[in-house]
Amino acid sequence: MKRQKIAPRADWQKKVESVGLTYHTLAPGTAPDGGALPYWDESAYYEFTAAEVDALEAATERLQEMCLAAGQFIIDNHRFADLKIPPQAVDAITKTWNDEPPALYGRFDLAFDGRAIKLLEYNADTPTALVEASVAQWFWLQDLFPQADQFNSIHEKLIAKWKDLKSYVAETVYFAHLDNEEDAMTVTYLRDTAEQAGIASASVLMSDIGWDEQKWRFLDLEGNPMETIFKLYPWEMMLAEQFSQYALDFMHKVQWIEPIWKMMFSNKGLLAVLWEMYPNDPLLLPAYLDGPRDLKDYVRKPLLGREGANILLVKDGEKQQTYGQYGAEGFVYQAAAPIPCLDGNYPVLGSWIIADQGAAGMGVRESDTPVTTNTSRFVPHLFR
Amino acid sequence: MKKSSSITLGLLAAAALMATTGCSRRTEVRECVDKDHRIVEPALCQQQEENRQRGGYMGGYYPYLWHYGGSSGGRLGDAVMGGSSTPTPGMSAVTRGGFGSSMGSAAGHAAAGSAGS
């Protein structure tokens, strides 16, 4: 894995905007001079070998198998309390796990130093950076290196997955999200892939989902019942909100994508469960729920943290900390990963898995520190 | 090859065009209105919904409505013309706003309110 510097394309902003990446620049004030840092950064790219990509692809497939086994382990051993999963959600998690309603995708975040691949976490419920990984970097490659290859068949595999789901979902499939540009474009892209598979779709804000108190069903803004809902909104937040009991009590009336059993995977307690099941596995880092134990260098992560918030990194006796609103639910303690530093940048690989389609591609996000946060940059990649 | 052989964009390209030309309207305008269809503070509708959820009896009289679409000046007291309100006939018991409150809503990148991870 090499980091190669390159001149950005002329008008790169317009180029990525035209393919959906309209949120290519971070908020004003993120640059030292008070300006805005780029989020999409094509002043460099990551170059991999075919052998490295093969290894990353195989690791992704294997991690998915391990996580599926961990899901069964959590259920069989009733480990929900360890993951601070609310008791009222347990029946729904168990039932959907057994019934296997539609699931779509997930993203493993991996540390890779050119040799070892280590799982950092699994974003299984609401993974983003999808437009960047699937679309924007593909068009970048076509513009600059059309003869090179890229670990990225996310687009084709999403469409293939929707084609598989067409006979299982209730159309119209609703895509629910918050009212911000990144989430709106992400669900619009997912709608695009569903429509290309022949599935009728519509967007709706999470706050506009209605509850019919007479007929006990969720309604869209026109009063139509919503029977299949993709939601770019985490289950743990849904369960803390006003409609939570309706969602749980009437789970049989709605196919939620992702299904509620994904709460077992999107919870960082999964890392400790995996280590317990597969101690010393080369794809895993030691991880514990009850403290760092004998780890000298470790990362303390909130079980339900997002975008690098509330992370404590202890390395060589020194502490680095990020702040935020998470952590009240508890923490997992994971050995510090061997994230390489290339030209002052720390890359983390986001490896996508599409349900039943397998490992589908990856994106690279790099940061100025070993902790990936919401200001980390997306950098395209290729392999030869 | 491990890359997609081709990528054709439909909805996403159209949404991107609208977003970058300032024509984007991702969501239908929703206003809290009184019985005369004049805009009032959204908190009045939210409070009313919460009372109903808690089983609070208001004599069957709900003075405020969420109104979707239509046009208005967008200021408190402005009349809303067109659009539609809930509850509509035959659907008098639809509650909205029960999801999406944990992260609020904000424009911009993940730094400002994305629910993604």
How many A×B Cβ pairs under 8 Å? 213
Write down the pLDDT at residue B113. Answer: 66
Query: A270: distance to nearest CA of chain B, Å?
Result: 16
Across the interface, do A205 and B100 touch by the CB < 8 Å criterion?
A: yes
Angle at Cα B65 formed by Cα B59 and Cα B70, nearest 5°?
A: 155
pLDDT-flagged residues of chain A (< 50): none
Write down the pLDDT at residue A103. Answer: 97
Across the interface, do B19 and A181 touch by the CB < 8 Å criterion?
A: yes
Respond yes or no on whether the N-terminal peptide bond of residue B28 is cis (omega within 30° of 0). Answer: no
d(CA A291, CA A271): 13
d(CA A76, CA A90): 12
* Integer angstrom CA distances of residue A214 from B52, B90, B91, B93: 13, 10, 8, 6
Across the interface, do B102 and A241 touch by the CB < 8 Å criterion?
A: yes
Please indicate whether residue B108 or residue A109 has the higher confidence score (pLDDT): A109
pLDDT digits (tens, 9 = 90+) for A53-75: 999 999 999 999 999 999 999 99
pLDDT digits (tens, 9 = 90+) for B81-93: 877 765 444 444 6
Across the interface, do A128 and B1 touch by the CB < 8 Å criterion?
A: no
Write down the pLDDT at residue B46. Answer: 79
Which has the closest alpha carbon to A273: A192, A347, A332? Answer: A332
Contacts of A39 in chain B (CB under 8 A): 109
* Integer angstrom CA distances of residue A286 from A281, A293, A295, A296, A297: 9, 10, 8, 11, 11
Whether residue B107 has pLDDT greater than 80: no
Write down the pLDDT at residue A235. Answer: 97
Mean pLDDT, to the nearest integer, of B16-32?
A: 72
Write down the pLDDT at residue B29. Answer: 65
pTM score: 0.87
Query: A169: distance to nearest CA of chain B, Å?
Result: 20
Q: What is the 3-state secondary structure (H, E, C) of chain A?
A: CEEEECCCCCCHHHHHHHCCCCCCECCCCCCCCCCCCECECCCEEEEECHHHHHHHHHHHHHHHHHHHHHHHHHHHCCCCHHHCCCHHHHHHHHHHHHHCCCCCEEEEEEEECCCCEEEEEEECCCCCCHHHHHHHHHHHHHHHCCCCECCECHHHHHHHHHHHHCCCCCCCEEEEECCCHHHHHHHHHHHHHHHHCCCCEEEEEHHHCEEECCCCEEECCCCCECCEEEECCCHHHHCCCCCHHHHHHCHHHCEEECCHHHHHCCCCHHHHHHHHHCCCCCCCCCEECCCCCCCCCEEEEECCCCCCCCCEEEECCEEEECCCCCCCCCEEEEECCCCCCECCEEEEEEEEEECCCEEEEEEEEEECCCCCCCCCEEECEEEC
Scanning every residue of chain B, which has its alpha carbon at the shortest distance from the alpha carbon of A231? Answer: B115
Write down the pLDDT at residue A163. Answer: 98
B interface test, pick of A180, A246, A306 with most B CB neighbours within 10 Å: A180
User: How is residue B60 written in tokens?
Assistant: 């069957």
Query: B63: distance to nearest CA of chain A, Å?
Result: 19
Model confidence at B47, pLDDT cuts 50, 70, 90, reads confident
Mean pLDDT, to the nearest integer, of B39-59?
A: 76
